[in-house]
Amino acid sequence: MKEILIIFIAALIIGAAINGYNNIQSQTPEPKNTSSDNNPLEDGNNTTDTAAGENATGNTNTGGTIGDAVRTANANAITAKELTDSSFTDTVLKANTPVLVDFYATWCGPCKRMSPVIEQIAQEYSDKAKVYKVNVDANPLSAEKYNITSIPHFIVFKNGQMTDSFVGGQAKTTLTEAIDKQLN
């Protein structure tokens, strides 16, 4: 009988400890967002991401910091503009420069991770190409027209024709090389 009572008390103590830990975790504040565009990825930390840029030591790689990408994009205020189903044809298909379109959704984690990279590309290519974003939930016709079944999905257009298509998170260089091919 004593053994059962001891096991029962131990179980209560462990359960209380776990419950207390969960309560502490649920009360931990989220990192403050200091970005002017409320980007959920900008937390001020200098962490390396495989999307683009230089790492914390300044060595070039296929990574970079999300924070660096956001700060660069925000500093110059050139952003990837949002398109709708009704503006897609006139804006993308009739463009006289290469166009990169990011098909995304607000709930999509990989889309959120790519957002600062897309903004950085928009800023860097502002005089050579156009960069747009299409929310697939709000604009299902455009997503359906280009058979967007997975996101993020990036399409490069030139003279109204699709020239490249990439599904999932991509290195910045993959997207910029696709644009560069259309510039030559």
- Give 146-165 pLDDT, tens digit per residue: 999 999 999 999 999 999 99
Cis preceding-peptide flag for 152 (omega within 30 of 0): yes
Catalytic residues, by residue number, are 108, 111
Q: Which residues have C-beta within 8 Å of that of residue 119, sequence separation ≥ 6?
A: 69, 70, 73, 74, 79, 80
Look-up: residue for tokens 């950085």? 120
Instruction: Identify which of 9-13, 37-41, 65-69, 152-156 has the greatest average pLDDT.
Output: 152-156
Q: Average pLDDT in the 16-30 region?
A: 49
Homologous superfamily of the 49-183 domain (CATH): Glutaredoxin (3.40.30.10)
User: How high is the pLDDT of residue 79?
Assistant: 86
pLDDT at 36 over 60: no
Residue 67: band (very low, low, confident or very high) from pLDDT cuts 50, 70, 90: low
- How many other CB atoms are there within 10 angstroms of residue 179's CB atom? 23
Q: Average pLDDT in the 121-137 region?
A: 95
Least confident of 38-42, 155-159, 164-168: 38-42
Q: How confident is the model over 107-120, as pLDDT tens digits?
A: 999 999 999 999 99
Higher-pLDDT residue of 40, 147: 147
Q: Average pLDDT in the 135-152 region?
A: 96
Q: Average pLDDT in the 57-82 region?
A: 56
Give me the residue spans of the domains in the chain: 1-30, 49-183
User: How high is the pLDDT of residue 184?
Assistant: 78
Higher-pLDDT residue of 165, 8: 165
Q: Taking Cα atoms as reference points, which of 163, 141, 143 lies closest to residue 152?
A: 143
Q: Average pLDDT in the 78-88 region?
A: 91
Higher-pLDDT residue of 156, 36: 156
Average pLDDT value over all residues in the chain: 75
| Strand order across the 130-135 sheet | 81-83, 130-135, 99-104, 153-158, 161-167
Residue 27: band (very low, low, confident or very high) from pLDDT cuts 50, 70, 90: very low
User: How high is the pLDDT of residue 84?
Assistant: 95
- How many other CB atoms are there within 10 angstroms of residue 80's CB atom? 22
